[in-house]
């Protein structure tokens, strides 16, 4: 009954939600999973080895003392060793459970440190770190491998000045949720700073497919309202090739973003692999 009440407390439910989030995180933890499995197997073998040693040690001591146990007493001794083994296995199970929870909580904390707390996307540092790794993994590919996309809200400063920073934060939160909804796979999404966001789309899609995604993004952003008026954003998308580092992609995509802003509200510009607009 006490455990039931404990599992329905707010603190436990929040902890359980953190564990579930850690479980579904795509962190590439194959090494850590293998290490936990290795520790479990090693602990089980150690428990069995200790039990066998304990049995033989007692038998040896009795033989040295010249004590001969009847069959019934020897059976009791065997049962004692079985109980001893079960006790060790129970302690082992608790240790394993602790390791699993500790690993999941550590994964959650690490992910929280890499995530922008307001919008739920990657922080600037985490985005570029993950982007470098993603680009390095594609070094062997030739030609177009994806797009580096920069975007920000149109006239965001006016939103903060007229409606206050809480409303501005709400708009940023909805924009982050929209990005996660539109670009939901094969990509990295990060908040670079203020109202500026970046998306590294490393799925092999065509320019036409990208245009469909960007139009969908602009439509979804247009559904975000403040004081009854729809907001908008500008987007610059630069093709990614395996020969270009992340810093260069960021600068050139940012230039395309400002080219889109010069065209007016809610526009996007897609560059070409050779750097031309």
Q: Active-site positions? A: 195
* Cα–Cα distance for residue pair 51/58, rounded to 1 Å: 11
Nearest to 148 by CA among 110, 115, 192: 192
DSSP conformational letter for 273: T
- In order, the DSSP letters of 59-75 are HHHHHHTT----HHHHH
Number of neighbouring beta carbons within 10 Å of residue 39: 14
Strands 196-201 and 144-153: antiparallel
Give the whole-angstrom CA distance, residue 219 versus residue 50: 66
CA distance 106 to 22: 8
For residue 19, give every residue at least 6 positions away whose Cβ sits within 8 Å of its Cβ, in sequence order, or none.
101, 104, 105, 108
The token duo for 32 is 């850590």
Distance CA 116, CA 124 (A): 8
- CA dist 84 → 40, 65, 70, 75, 94 (Å): 18, 23, 21, 14, 16
């Amino acid at each position: 009954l006490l455990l039931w009440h404990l599992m329905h407390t707010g603190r436990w439910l929040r902890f359980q939600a953190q564990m579930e989030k850690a479980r579904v995180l795509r962190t590439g933890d194959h090494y850590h999973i293998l290490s936990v499995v290795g520790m479990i197997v090693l602990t089980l073998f150690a428990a069995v080895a200790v039990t066998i040693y304990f049995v033989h040690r007692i038998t040896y001591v009795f033989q040295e003392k010249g004590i001969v146990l009847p069959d019934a007493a020897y059976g009791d001794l065997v049962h004692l060793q079985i109980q001893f083994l079960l006790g060790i296995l129970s302690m082992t199970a608790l240790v394993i459970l602790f390791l699993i929870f500790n690993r999941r909580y550590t994964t959650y904390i690490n992910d929280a440190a890499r995530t922008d707390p307001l919008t739920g996307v990657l922080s600037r540092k985490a985005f570029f770190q993950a982007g470098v790794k993603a680009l390095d993994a594609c070094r062997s590919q030739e030609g177009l491998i994806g797009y580096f996309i920069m975007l920000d809200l149109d006239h965001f400063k006016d939103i903060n000045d007229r409606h206050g920073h809480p409303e501005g934060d709400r708009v940023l939160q909805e924009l982050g949720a929209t990005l996660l909804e539109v670009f939901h796979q094969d990509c990295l999404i990060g908040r670079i700073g203020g109202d500026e966001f970046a998306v590294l789309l490393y799925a092999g899609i065509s320019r036409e497919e990208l245009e469909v995604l960007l139009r969908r993004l602009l439509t979804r952003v247009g559904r975000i309202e403040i004081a009854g008026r729809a907001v908008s954003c500008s987007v610059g998308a630069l093709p990614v090739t395996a020969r270009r580092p992340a810093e260069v992609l960021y600068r050139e995509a940012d230039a395309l973003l400002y080219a889109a802003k010069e065209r007016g509200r809610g526009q996007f510009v897609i560059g070409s692999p050779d750097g031309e607009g």
